[in-house]
Amino acid sequence: MANELNTAQATSGLTITAQLFQTGAAVGSAITCAEVGSSRFYSANMPTITAGTYQVVFYQSGVTPLSSGLIAWNGTAEILVNDLSTATTAGIADAVWDEATSGHTTSGTYGGRIVRSTNANNELAINAQNHAAANVHQFQTGVIVSGAFDAGVLTAFAVPELQEIHLIHGLKSGSALTVTPSSRAAGAVSQNITGDGVASTTVTRV
């Protein structure tokens, strides 16, 4: 594509140049714009220049500003406002899903509140009840340990029978099981032992 720099004027036969600017600074040299016949329409080609958006100012004899505008340049051609050739479904998807998370997960943003994987192992199984399914490979330190289990879980469950079984087998820390030929006792649980210990033995809760 050529003749990207265009301006229409009220007078024919003018000496018109175009100057490109970025952030207020001139880019390159002035570009001569030739009139197309005697149409008062003046045109020129974009120079070899890097991609970017440029302001274009048209001057009469390099001194008097006549008109100005913006041109978006991809490095080889003008990017037209109505050019949707790159706005395809695949192109938009690539632009979104290939974007780095670091730029969209700052505190307080919607992106920062989305649960995401910390690595490439990003699959989560959903079972028939529509629940997340996972194998537990590791607990945090102190979540389930023997002390926490016997001191906390049984008490939390408040099942007397379980607590007493725990006691009478000598499993509770700080509550020893004492056994004699005729008794077993641990905490508040006591048992009598009767019989000859050979033919039969009977254990009875006191």
Pair 15, 3: CB distance under 8 Å: no
pLDDT band at 19 (very low <50, low <70, confident <90, very high): very high
3-state SS string for the chain = CCCCEEEECCCCCCCEEEEEEECCEEEEEEEEEEECCCCCEEEECCCCCCCEEEEEEEEECCCEEEEEEEEEECCCCECCCCCCCCCCHHHHHHHHHCCCHHHCCCCCCCHHHCCCCCCCCCCCEECCCCCEECCCCCCCCCCCCHHHHHHHHHHHHCCHHHHHHHHHCCCCCCCCCEEECCEEEECCEEEEEEECCCCCEEEEEC
End-to-end CA distance of the chain: give it in Å, rounded. 104
Beta bridge partners of 178: 185
Q: Is residue 1's pLDDT more than 90?
A: no
Structure confidence at residue 80 (pLDDT): 80
Q: Tell me the pLDDT tens digit for each residue of 69-107.
A: 999 999 999 988 665 555 677 767 877 888 788 778 888
Read off the pLDDT band of 143 (50, 70, 90): low
Topology of domain 5-73, per CATH? Answer: Immunoglobulin-like (2.60.40)
- Quick check: 151 pLDDT over 60? no
CB atoms within 10 A of CB 47: 14
Question: What pLDDT, on the 0 to 100 scale, is given for residue 147?
Answer: 55
CA distance 165 to 147: 16
The per-residue pLDDT for 150 is 56
Domain chopping of the chain, boundaries: 5-73, 146-205
Check residues 109 and 20 and name the one with the higher pLDDT: 20
Mean pLDDT of 111-130: 86
Q: Residue 27: CB partners within 8 Å, gap ≥ 6? A: 20, 21, 49, 54
Q: What is the mean pLDDT of the chain?
A: 86
**31 vs 121, residue with greater confidence:** 31
Give the count of alpha carbons within 13 A of 95, CB side only: 7
pLDDT of the residue at 148? 53
- Which residue is listed with tokens 């000496």? 15
Quick one: pLDDT at residue 137? 78
* pLDDT of amino acid 53: 93
| pLDDT tens-place string over residues 154-191 | 566 657 788 888 889 988 888 999 999 999 999 889 99
Which residue carries 């002035």 as its tokens? 30
Residues in the chain: 206
Looking at per-residue pLDDT, the higher value among 31 and 141 belongs to: 31
Give me the mean pLDDT over the 42-64 stretch.
95
Instruction: Name which of 7-11, 18-22, 31-35, 115-119 the model is least confident about.
Output: 115-119
Q: How far apart are CA 101 and CA 96, in angstroms?
A: 10
The alpha carbon dihedral of 25, 28, 30, 36 has a sign of negative
